[in-house]
Structures are given as C-alpha cells and as structure tokens.
C-alpha cells in the first residue's frame, strides 16, 4: 500500500494499490487535439487511430468467430427483403387472383425464411456477444497487467478510482460499442441495402423518394455523436472521482467518525452524484434526440410513399402487389436505419472510453532495464551510495549528493527530521525510482546494470503501513513465495513471534484476515509482515518505521522479532524514535537531502549536533 511520508513514500512489496492516470473530462469534437488547459502527458487519439487500434489489437485475433457472425448477419439481413418480396404474391396471387396453390406455398416460404432468419439472428447475437465479452476480458487483463508493471512515478500522480473506472465501466462501453458497431455495419447496413434494392426493383421512382429522405439525418446525427463523446468523457471522469471518494471514505471511516465529518463526506459525495445525474440526463437527452428525428423522417417517407404510390395504383399505373412489397420493405427498413442512426452515439461512447484506457496502456516506465542486464550476484550484501542526487520533480532535489556505505551484515540507521530524504533513499535501493546522478551499488554492482527481478528478489522490506490481503494468514505469509511449505511458513511465524497468537485463532493459519488485515491488531499485522520477510530470506533488509505506530509493549515484541530478522543480513533502518536505533552499527543523520552527521549513537551524542538535539527532544518528550 502506498503511503506518503513527506519526502517520498515507501511501499510494501506485498501490498500494491493500483492507480490510474487522471483522464481529461472534456474532449474536442474531432477527438484528436487536447482541449485548452487539459492535463499534460495524456495520449490523444483521433477516431480513425482509435478504431484501427481496437480492430488490430482486439478484434482480429478472433477473426474466425467474427467470420461466423458475419455469415449469420448476411443470412439475417437477406431474410428481411425476402419477406417483403413475398408480399407481392400475397396481394396479387392470394387476395386478387385467389390462387389456392399459392395460399399453401407462400405461408410455407414465409415460415422457412423466418426460421432461417431467427437462427441466423441467434448465431450472430451469441458470437458477437462472445467477441465483445472477450474484448472486455482482454482489455481488463492487459490494462491490469500493464499497470502492475509501471514504476512508482506513475503511482505517485495517479488515482485509484479512475483506474477502477478504466477496468470496469470503460471496458463495458468499449464492448457495447464494438458489438453494436459491427452488428450495425454488417447486419443492419446489409438489411437496408437489400431492402433498398428491392424497392428499386419494384418501383424505382418511389424508391428514389425514400433514398433521398433518410440521408437528411446524417448531419444532425453526426453533431449528436460528437456531443455524446464529450458528455461520456466527462461522465467517466466523474465516475472515477466518485469511486476514489468512496474508497478513501470507507478506508478512513474511523477518522471520518472521529472528527465528525460524516456530513462533510456526504456532501462531497452528493455533489459528485448530482454532477453525474446532470451528465446522465444530458447523455439521455442527446441519445433520445435521435428517435424523434428518425420518427419524423420515417413518417415523411411513409406519407410520401402512400400518397404517391397510392395515386399510381388508383390511376392503374402501378401493380398493387408491387406497391405493398415496396411498402413492406420500407417498414422493415425503419428499424435497421434507426439502429444505424444510433450507431454514432454508441460508437462515440466507446471511443471516449477507449481513449481513456489506451492513455493508461500508453504509459511507459521511467525505470527500465538496460540491454544486456544481468542477474544480481549477492556475495556479501554491501550497499553503497556514491554522490547520489535525486528529485521527484524537475529542479527540486530530495537528495543532494548522498554518500554512505552499509557493510555486509551491518545494521545502519537513517535518522533526521521529516522531509530530510530518508524514505527517498530507501526507495532508490529496489529501484522504485532511478537516481539522477551518482550510483548505488550492491557488492560493487551498479543496480542499474542488473535485472530488476533479481535486484528485488535480494531485498525484503517491512514498513509501518502493512496491508494484508483478504486471504488466510498462511497465504499472506507465503505471499511472494508460493512454493513455501507449511513447515517453512510456521517456522517463519515462530521467528516473527506470530505463531502463538495465530494458533489461538479458531482456524489458525487458515484464518482469513479481512480487508487490509482489519481482523488483526496492528502488532499482529506487523508480525505477519515480518514473517513474510523472514520467509523471503533476502540478504538485504529495509525497515521503514516498522514499529512507529505500535504501543510500547507491542514495539518491544516486534523489536525482538526484528532482531531475529536482522541476523546475518545487511539492514538499513529508518526510525523517528531514536531509542530504537541506539544499537545500530552506524547512524547517518540526514537533513535537507544531505548527510550532516554519521557515527555510532555515543559518538553522535558527543558531537552535540542535530542528532543530539533530536535525541534530547525525544528524551524530554517521553520522560516528561
């Protein structure tokens, strides 16, 4: 779980919070240029680029099923004009000529066509939904995996709620757009084409009337689609903000209640909910405008066809059967034409969602492996910093030339005021960030020249902000080492002074700890984290305020467990309670990103510098 500690933040290897990039809540009509004042760093995609990326990356891998769906769509589309064409023999041969043979053949033909059309509709529906759901699954898995691989620079500027929106509602909108677009482009479009061909076959003059009426809707429908894309983009941003607010409020509910802030949090949520209501209504109105436009145009086309076609039949210039076949084709064409008209809105919703998801997928790491990186070979575990400089933002240095060494098997403590650079220094060792200048070496190997996996496998980290997964105690201890045996897990728990309290639980090691380990006390969670680090058995140990939030009794028990953990390991400790680091082999005092003092506890007290002032201040605080 990422937690901020002034100059930087530490992260427990077993406890990631997955965050997403802020996404622009308003987009331009063409979808290709960023709006003025929008957030930098987001990739903007034109409509063609987005569609091409979706097709290449997520549709083409399932071309076999898509082919089957297209075949079904062609059959379903062909069934509609065949039904309309049969209206001609129904009127001419059955109702006018009273042909008894046709009275049998035509109903059988209609039934056969409808069975084939129904089966084809079933097939295309199942296949297209399979493809749509598969696209969602692929996008979610790919996005989740990609985010896990991003470095902490991404997480530092990101928001949990927005990534959840990317993985849930955005993916759903993309599925809807993909399925609807393909269905409309193939089945509905072919249906209209076949029906229009039938109209021209039956009466080309009447067909021309219809052919020129419906295209009138293209321009207003395009405008509505652009508006829908902007509304959807804003809506998805608000959904992310609401998700983030809910997660923060529920996780911090104790603090909310302790400060009587229930009404304040409810007002914050209500404001976002009201914004969402307004946006949803705006989207509803925009989407609903398509229907009256199509109804008006459809009514105009039908009225003209009845007036003009009826006058031709009355004048004897047209065959009644041909007129009814054309009229039936017109009525059957209304539904697919309306679907095509609604397509732009659905497509723009999906493209707005795709832009948000692809903006996350386009994120790249700042911490990367060099070509030819080799596995780290730990001989002794000596860690050295050589004139290391680093800043989280350009022009602002958190570290200003740090040089220090942690010899093999030693315990070295980092102390100093908040913001001095202690956690930043710790975060550079596993390459959560890369140094700007200088080098960090393990056994004389520059950590930037080795593989990240081998580097982090040599490091165990325990911080004060321990987050356990909602799983069993056994699974939480074995996190990161799935091959561990039950005996090894129990031995690690014994060494971490956790075995005794675990065995007192009703289900022992099979006890589920709850979300973030809330069913355990702070000391118990900390011991589970230490057991996890013990089980990892890494040669380098990083302790970031591992006992800062514990009471005196729990701290004493944890310190005993940490003493066991530190044996034979190179250990770097951050502590605000200076009494806990008096036994360290060497203490480095940091201030404003620089090492200002170093030595043993007694040597630093004798210097009468910053360390002595901090120690005296704490001594007065705890004794007074």
What pLDDT, in 10s, does the model give residues 138-162?
Answer: 888 898 889 888 888 888 777 777 7
Tokens of 12: 């427990």
Listed residue (187, 202, 185, 180) closest to 78, CA to CA: 187
pTM over cut 0.85: no
Question: Could you give the CA distance from residue 352 to residue 45 in angstroms, rounded to a whole number?
Answer: 10
Decide: residue 605, CB within 10 A, 0-12 exposed, 13-18 middle, 19+ buried.
Answer: middle
Decide: residue 232, CB within 10 A, 0-12 exposed, 13-18 middle, 19+ buried.
Answer: buried
Share of residues in the chain with pLDDT > 90 (%): 20
Give the model's pLDDT for residue 540: 92
Q: What is the pLDDT of residues 524-549, one digit of tens each?
A: 888 898 888 888 888 998 988 776 65
Q: What is the pLDDT of residues 24-59, one digit of tens each?
A: 333 333 333 333 333 333 444 567 788 888 888 888
Question: Could you give the CA distance from residue 291 to residue 298 in angstroms, rounded to a whole number?
Answer: 10
Q: Using an 8 Å Cβ cutoff, are 460 and 46 in contact?
A: no
Instruction: Answer yes or no: is pLDDT of 413 > 60.
Output: yes
Give the model's pLDDT for residue 225: 65
Distances, alpha carbon 275 to alpha carbons 22, 206, 269, 280, 283, in Å = 18, 49, 10, 9, 12
Q: What is the pLDDT of residues 242-279, one digit of tens each?
A: 877 877 777 677 677 776 788 888 888 888 888 888 88
Q: Using an 8 Å Cβ cutoff, are 476 and 529 in contact?
A: no
Label residue 580 by pLDDT band (50, 70, 90): confident
Listed residue (397, 392, 394, 404) closest to 439, CA to CA: 404
Tokens of 623: 């004794």
How do beta strands 586-591 and 411-415 pair?
parallel
**Angle (nearest 5°) at CA 318 between 316 and 321:** 115
Question: Could you give the CA distance from residue 347 to residue 151 in angstroms, rounded to a whole number?
Answer: 33
Higher pLDDT, 163 or 541: 541
Give the model's pLDDT for residue 550: 59
Q: Using an 8 Å Cβ cutoff, are 433 and 389 in contact?
A: no
DSSP secondary structure letter of residue 418: T
Give the model's pLDDT for residue 13: 34
Q: Which residues contact 557 (CB under 8 A, 6 or more apart)?
A: 497, 523, 527
The mean pLDDT of 306-314, rounded to a whole number, is 76
Instruction: Answer yes or no: is pLDDT of 89 > 70.
Output: yes
Backbone angles phi and psi of 282, in degrees to 5: -65, -45
Q: What is the pLDDT of residues 168-212, one digit of tens each?
A: 888 888 888 888 777 777 888 888 888 888 888 887 777 777 666
Q: Which residues contact 102 (CB under 8 A, 6 or more apart)?
A: 89, 93, 94
DSSP 58-102: IIGGGHHHHHHHHHHHHHHHHHHHHHHHTHHHIIIIIIIS--HHH
**Helix, strand, coil shares, percent, the chain, to 5:** 65, 10, 25
Tokens of 128: 């297209």
416 backbone φψ class: left, alpha, beta (φ>0; ψ -120 to 50): left
Q: Indicate the average pLDDT of the chain.
A: 80
Higher pLDDT, 519 or 291: 519
Q: What is the pLDDT of residues 324-381, one digit of tens each?
A: 888 888 788 878 877 777 777 777 778 888 888 888 888 888 888 888 899 999 988 9
Give the model's pLDDT for residue 517: 82
Q: Which residues contact 519 (CB under 8 A, 6 or more apart)?
A: 511, 512, 513
Instruction: Answer yes or no: is pLDDT of 303 > 60.
Output: yes
Q: What is the pLDDT of residues 214-248, one digit of tens each?
A: 666 556 666 766 677 677 777 767 877 887 787 77
Q: What element of type H or E holds 295?
A: helix 290-314
Distances, alpha carbon 183 to alpha carbons 72, 116, 348, 355, 604, in Å = 10, 18, 16, 22, 76
3-state secondary structure of 471: coil
3-state secondary structure of 26: coil
Instruction: Answer yes or no: is pLDDT of 23 > 80.
Output: no
Residue that the structure tokens 């530092």 belong to: 156
Question: Could you give the CA distance from residue 129 to residue 116 in angstroms, rounded to a whole number?
Answer: 20
Question: Could you give the CA distance from residue 266 to residue 152 in angstroms, rounded to a whole number?
Answer: 31
Label residue 439 by pLDDT band (50, 70, 90): very high
């Amino acid at each position: 779980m990422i937690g901020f500690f002034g100059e930087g933040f530490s992260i427990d290897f077993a406890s990631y919070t997955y965050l997403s990039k802020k996404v622009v809540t308003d987009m331009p009509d063409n979808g290709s240029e960023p709006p003025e004042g929008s957030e930098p760093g987001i990739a903007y995609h034109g409509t063609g680029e987005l569609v091409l990326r979706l097709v290449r990356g997520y549709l083409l891998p399932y071309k076999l099923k898509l082919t089957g769906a297209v075949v079904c769509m062609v059959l379903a589309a062909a069934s509609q004009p065949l039904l309309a064409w049969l209206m001609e023999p129904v009127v001419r041969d059955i109702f006018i000529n009273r042909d008894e043979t046709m009275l049998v053949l035509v109903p059988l033909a209609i039934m056969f066509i409808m069975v084939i059309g129904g089966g084809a509709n079933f097939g295309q529906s199942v296949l297209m939904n399979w493809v749509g759901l598969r696209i969602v699954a692929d996008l979610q898995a790919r996005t989740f995996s990609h985010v896990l691989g991003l470095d902490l620079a991404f997480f530092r500027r990101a928001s949990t709620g927005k990534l959840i929106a990317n993985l849930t509602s955005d993916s759903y909108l993309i599925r809807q757009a993909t399925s609807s677009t393909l269905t409309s482009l193939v089945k509905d479009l072919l249906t209209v084409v076949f029906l229009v061909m039938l109209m021209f076959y039956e009466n080309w003059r009447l067909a021309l009337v219809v052919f020129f009426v419906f295209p009138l809707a293209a321009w207003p429908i395009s405008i509505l689609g652009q508006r829908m894309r902007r509304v959807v983009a804003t809506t998805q941003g608000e959904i992310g903000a609401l998700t983030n607010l809910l997660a923060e409020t529920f996780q911090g509910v104790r603090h909310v209640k302790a400060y009587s802030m229930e009404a304040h949090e409810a007002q914050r949520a209500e404001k976002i909910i009201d914004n969402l209501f307004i946006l949803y209504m705006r989207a509803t109105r925009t989407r609903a405008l398509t229907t009256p436009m199509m109804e008006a145009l459809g009514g105009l086309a039908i009225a003209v066809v009845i007036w003009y076609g009826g006058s031709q039949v009355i004048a004897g210039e047209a065959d009644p059967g041909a007129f009814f076949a054309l009229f039936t084709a017109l009525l059957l064409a209304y539904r697919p034409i309306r679907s095509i008209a609604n397509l732009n809105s659905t497509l723009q919703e999906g493209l707005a969602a795709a832009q948000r998801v692809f903006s996350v997928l386009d994120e790249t790491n700042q911490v990367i492996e060099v070509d030819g990186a080799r596995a780290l070979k730990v001989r002794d575990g000596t860690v050295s910093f050589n004139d290391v400089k680093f800043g989280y933002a350009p022009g602002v240095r958190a570290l200003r030339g740090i040089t220090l060494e942690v010899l093999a098997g030693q315990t070295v403590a980092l102390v100093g005021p908040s913001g001095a650079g202690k956690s930043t220094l710790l975060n550079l060792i596993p390459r959560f960030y890369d140094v700007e200048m200088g080098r960090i070496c393990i056994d004389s190997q520059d950590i930037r020249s080795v593989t990240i996996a081998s580097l982090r496998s040599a490091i165990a980290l325990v911080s004060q902000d321990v987050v356990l997964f909602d799983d069993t105690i056994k699974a939480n201890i074995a996190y990161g080492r799935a091959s561990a045996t039950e005996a090894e897990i129990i031995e690690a728990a014994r060494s971490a002074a956790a075995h005794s309290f675990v065995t007192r639980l009703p289900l022992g090691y099979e006890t589920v700890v709850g979300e973030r380990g809330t069913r355990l006390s702070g000391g118990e969670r900390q011991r589970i984290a230490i057991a996890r680090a013990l089980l990892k058995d890494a040669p380098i140990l990083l302790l970031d305020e591992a006992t800062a939030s514990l009471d005196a009794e729990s701290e004493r028990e944890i310190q005993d467990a940490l003493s066991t953990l530190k044996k034979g390991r190179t250990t770097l400790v951050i502590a605000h309670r200076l009494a806990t680091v008096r036994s360290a082999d060497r203490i480095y005092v940091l201030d404003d990103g620089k090492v200002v003092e170093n030595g043993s506890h007694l040597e630093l007290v004798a210097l009468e510098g910053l360390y002595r002032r901090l120690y005296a201040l704490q001594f007065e605080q705890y004794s007074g």
